[in-house]
Structure 1
Amino acid sequence: MRVDKYLWCVRFFKTRSLATNACKQGKVKIQGVSVKPSREVYATDKVSIRKDQIDYEIEVLDLPASRVGAKIAGLYVQDITPKEAFEKMELLKYSKEYYRKKGTGRPTKKDRRDIDELLDNTEEKNKEESIKEEPQE
């Protein structure tokens, strides 16, 4: 069975074209070698896939006749991805949450509130200063 079709059949990719594109971009490797989408996959092959910034590693157990349901996909593939890969993703998620480059994109609702609060405070200070500066009669 073709590697792109296999990855689609065991529900690693939502569409077969996504699996094909991943193979063409060099994100799918068998035994550590980048493969074309038409490369045949056999039982006991170890496939590594780069998807969503995670390096998944799977072992082919059997070849399905056609696309299988999510519940029985485990009969055809064994996930041997190290836990460190998922921990890296969690750390990446936390670091992205608190970091935003200045001048890029729209401000979040919290950012807008902070800006409005800052502007309101400066306007109030300016009004207070102008009142103090006016001579009283």
Structure 2
Amino acid sequence: MNYKISTEPGARLRIDKWLWAARFFKTRSQAADAVEKGRVRVAGTPVKPAKEVRVGDLLRIEIDRTVWEVRVAGVCEVRGPASVAQMLYEETPESRSQRAAESERRRTYREPAAALHGRPTKRDRRVIDKLSDGD
């Protein structure tokens, strides 16, 4: 299939459709929902799903506590494979380094409750009660 990507400076597309075509979200409704909730910003300001993005716009996209800062490099009306979707944006170097740092932090993070197994013992319960009585 021939995917027509427009990289002209005047090219524009609805932001929810662009986010879907660029494969940040699986469906347009998920993209529109994220835009409505303020998780997508154009040049630092929250927008509505009908807002048109242009080539060159700077977007900040938050997905599951992961923040992407990307510059729109092109627009495409249809959703294509990942190789085509990656041609629609350029991620900023700061964003790339922050995502790598966040990924490393998540990989090395240890859940504090991971060492606990099952219910507290009678002794643990006494310690808990003693601590909570101090309120």
What is the alpha-carbon distance in structure 2 between the residues aligned to residue 18 and residue 65 of structure 1? 17
Equivalenced residue count is 106
Equivalent position SS for 2:67: strand
Aligned-CA RMSD value: 2.4
| Long gaps (5+) in structure 1 | 119-137
> What does 1:53-72 align with in structure 2 at a 5 Å threshold?
53-72=65-84
The counterpart of 2:101, out of the listed 87, 93, 99, is: 87
Conserved 8 A contact 1:10-1:77: yes
Q: What TM-score, normalized to structure 1?
A: 0.68
Give deviations 1:66-116, integer Å, cap 9, x for gaps: 112111212211122241233124314533x332289xxxx7xxx35xx8x
> What does 1:1-137 align with in structure 2 at a 5 Å threshold?
1-80=13-92, 81-95=95-109, 97-100=110-113, 111=117
Conserved 8 A contact 1:53-1:89: no
Give deviations 1:12-57, integer Å, cap 9, x for gaps: 1111111011001000000000111110010000100011111101
Cα distance, 1:53–1:86 mapped onto 2, change above 3 Å: farther
What is the alpha-carbon distance in structure 2 between the residues aligned to residue 16 and residue 42 of structure 1? 18
Which residue of structure 2 aligns with residue 125 of structure 1?
Answer: none
Structure possessing the higher radius of gyration over alpha carbons? 1
What is the alpha-carbon distance in structure 2 between the residues aligned to residue 42 and residue 35 of structure 1? 14
Q: What TM-score, normalized to structure 2?
A: 0.69
Comparing both structures, which one devotes a greater share of its residues to strand?
2
Which structure is higher in RCO with an 8 Å CA cutoff and minimum separation 6? 2
Equivalent position SS for 1:6: helix
